[in-house]
Structure 1
């Protein structure tokens, strides 16, 4: 069948796509929350990034409990990072004919009526982000807008909602992105070359160039993993890792490539964004992790990014062929 626009949301046309890696306990908690959902989606796709724990057994133990949703389990041969996992999850969901694809990591749980809350907005928008509770039950703040020319999140975009119940966004987060297949078809799959970090921001930005993207005042997810934070009063800064420090700088090169391809690249503004990103990560090291060790990963990321910038064969992710089921 082909997918025509509708003023009604059919939960059976939605797919939840989950990426997991060696966190079977968190995955089990997420799957348990899905068993209590009302309504449930038509499909649940789990992409396992070559876990070495008991993830496979955990997934199989939930197969019957998730019905009537159909469970599709894809185990990758190697760890492709969150970027590769979400790219594969999106691909599987798209090929299943899903009209809506709801992406999430394994360290959240779904509010029982979360899909109904997202579906309420589906007739109006095609790229939607819901809200999340943090580990402690507080509202999790996510930077939903980017300063386009600098390629960095705007940290102090207003957190409050007006009576409309939504705010325009030009970014994205794979911890809860709810996106229509029409937009996926136009912008292609998430780019696995990012491995981790900046991939969802870039994907959300690409989506916002095709449709009105919004964050809505609906709490639909809850984080289940506590992360060390620095309380800045009006905002928090989370702890990171050496891998994240490397990729946050290296992947600036991929953002630059997309900006060049779409003719929005401004070298001065983007260079300032890179400098601010480097400085922010130094602050994170000093005030969240109380160390300066890890700075070398930032430098290494910049160095490897320069090689990517010089790659003349690089191309953006291509649009997808319309898929008829």
Structure 2
């Protein structure tokens, strides 16, 4: 349990300029433009915006450059040589934000937009907590439910953790979501950067869990983001099951090999229950295929993921991401005006 001091009000106030928004994008310039437009009308604005481009082949570079003078915020654009997935993109985005000296890093995908006073709403909680998740509206304007609690022994989200809030307006969480995670640099320094080896899936869950081991992590009753992309869903009544892809099916199973290593490194691995969690995850993906996508094609990707998870599990040289050394920001001009590569 984190020390009580973690949830005690601080006398220090939140400075919006101390925050950096880190965005990861890949071949979705139309969606990215909506997010950048929302940043123009933000009040207050962060000190920096970092856009990490996973080697897009569309007009993302030109689009980002067209916003450089519109945003009214220092813009860092980093185009990667290859597609490193969301995991690699968020790892790079956090690295840049950290090296800029940012006190707070707010990470998000390109398929959301920021509600105008979103940063102020998150900043209201900054004196009390150091790992914070805001809430999000779905594409249709409904309230999106995010599974903020993990069952660590099983390695799966708890699907029916209470959605409501009491008068405190926050709930403790032991997970994370890179679509809106708001995290303090001190926690990033202690747990290191997100692990790019995940590529996609489970990366933010593990990162949020690691953060919760260092501080009281919370989801707060503040709507700060709105999804701008419609996703096919199966309505389960009180919950929804989204459509997926063959890549997601593969990585959701493969990356359980990485999860197992992380749990072992913290003494949290429980073999029988974790194996059952893997079976439940496999079953959930089969249900998603049949009921949401109306097919059984794609099952082979689940089996490939399981096979590669076993290989990762047996890798004796595997190590978690290391903690970061304290970085003192230097002249920021080369970063804030970096040319596309």
Name the TM tier (shorter chain).
over 0.9
SS, match of residue 174 in structure 2 = coil
**Cα offset for 1:65?**
1.0
Alignment partner, residue 274 of structure 1 = 278
Counterparts of 1:61-140 in structure 2, within 5 Å, are 61-67=66-72, 69-140=73-144
Calculate the aligned-residue CA RMSD, in Å: 0.7
Alignment partner, residue 20 of structure 1 = 25
Alignment partner, residue 230 of structure 1 = 234
**Cα offset for 1:6?**
5.8
Over 3 Å off, 4+ runs: none
SS, match of residue 120 in structure 1 = helix
Provide the rounded CA distance (Å) in 2 between the counterparts of 1:46 and 1:175.
Answer: 14
Alpha-carbon deviations, 1:98-131, whole Å to 9, x = none?
Answer: 0000000000000000000000000000000000
Alignment partner, residue 49 of structure 1 = 54
TM-score by length of 1: 0.98
- Alignment match of 1:312 (pick from 311, 316, 319): 316
Alignment partner, residue 286 of structure 1 = 290
Gaps of at least 5 residues in structure 1 are none
1:248 correspondence with 2:222: no
Provide the rounded CA distance (Å) in 1 between the counterparts of 2:249 and 2:27.
Answer: 21
**Cα offset for 1:44?**
0.2
Alignment partner, residue 197 of structure 1 = 201
Gaps of at least 5 residues in structure 2 are 1-9, 330-341
Aligned residues: 320
SS, match of residue 171 in structure 2 = strand
**Cα offset for 1:324?**
1.8
1:265 correspondence with 2:284: no
Alignment partner, residue 10 of structure 1 = 15
